[in-house]
A and B are shown apart, each in its own frame.
Chain A
Amino acid sequence: EVQLVESGGGLVQPGGSLRLSCAASGFILRDYYMDWVRQAPGKGLEWVGRTRDRTGSYTTEYAASVKGRFTVSRDYSENLLYLHMNSLQTEDTALYFCVRVPDSTRADCWGQGTLVTVSS
């Protein structure tokens, strides 16, 4: 069964850092584009960032709101995806989803999300 499980969320002060993890099972992470998508409380969906697959040399793309602060990376041996978040701001408070994106055409598998709260 294809599954994504996020972890690492929590309460962090403004200016702080956090690393989210996404454990993939049922498929090989390196063969897929992978995205992070977030949803602020009571709001809609916002794309955060992407890492391409092995064919795309695992290159990355980011939303303007997080570029320079967030980094998407992979641990190939452990089939894990990460989102490294620095200089966190209150507006980064959201539920963060890890998402599989076959052929970059669709988000066909979503994790359950991990909640990040940025507050003093």
Chain B
Amino acid sequence: IQLTQSPSFLSASVGDRVTITCRASQGVDGYLAWYHQKPGKAPKLLIYSTSTLQTGVPSRFSGSVSGTEFTLTISSLQPEDFATYYCQQLNSYPLTFGGGTKVEIK
């Protein structure tokens, strides 16, 4: 299953509403997760099973789906949110990741 993330690069300001899209080439039965990764660090889980917020993750992060297009929304971008974001499908093998979306400060 191919996951196509868009955009690959995003420039935004603190306080902006940000939306990242992950389109799956076929159905993943809702088993889609979102992570972000800061330089030199391991990825961190934000959302799993399309829309379930991982414990400890701020509520400004949310996930949704329409068909095979999954969306990660950050309602009000904070300084600590500048990072690279990845989606991952865990429905079928081989597991796959999207290509990533780098969110930078405008």
* With known contacts A44-B99, A63-B94, A110–B44 Cβ distance under 8 A: yes
Closest 6 CB pairs of A and B: A106-B48, A110-B42, A47-B95, A45-B97, A44-B100, A63-B94
Q: Are B42 and A113 in contact (CB under 8 A)?
A: yes
Q: Are A47 and B42 in contact (CB under 8 A)?
A: no
Q: Which residue of A lies closest to B84 (CB)?
A: A44
Q: Mark A85-120, 1 if CB is under 8 A from B, else 0.
A: 000000000000100010011111011110000000
Q: Are B48 and A35 in contact (CB under 8 A)?
A: no
Q: How far is the CB of B33 from chain A (nearest CB, A)?
A: 5
Q: Are B45 and A108 in contact (CB under 8 A)?
A: yes
Q: Which residue of A lies closest to B95 (CB)?
A: A47
* With known contacts A105-B49, A107-B35, A97–B42 Cβ distance under 8 A: yes
B: which residues have CB within 8 A of A? Answer: 31, 33, 35, 37, 42-45, 48-49, 54, 86, 88, 90, 93-100
Q: Are A44 and B90 in contact (CB under 8 A)?
A: no
A: which residues have CB within 8 A of B? Answer: 35, 44-47, 50, 61-64, 97, 101, 104-108, 110-113
Chain B residue numbers with a CB within 8 Å of A44 are: 86, 97-100
User: How many angstroms between the C-alpha atoms of A110 and B44 in the bound complex?
Assistant: 8
Main secondary structure of the interface of B (DSSP, over half): loop
Instruction: Return 6 A-B CB contacts under 8 Å, by A number.
Output: A44-B100, A47-B94, A97-B42, A105-B48, A106-B33, A110-B42
Q: Which residue of B lies closest to A65 (CB)?
A: B94
Chain A residue numbers with a CB within 8 Å of B99 are: 44
Chain A residue numbers with a CB within 8 Å of B98 are: 44
User: How many angstroms between the C-alpha atoms of A104 and B37 in the bound complex?
Assistant: 21
Q: Are A107 and B43 in contact (CB under 8 A)?
A: yes
Chain A residue numbers with a CB within 8 Å of B48 are: 105-106, 108
Q: How far is the CB of A50 from chain B (nearest CB, A)?
A: 7
9 A-B pairs besides A45-B35, A47-B88 with CB distance below 8 A are A44-B98, A44-B99, A45-B37, A47-B94, A47-B96, A64-B94, A105-B31, A105-B48, A108-B54
User: How many angstroms between the C-alpha atoms of A62 and B93 in the bound complex?
Assistant: 8
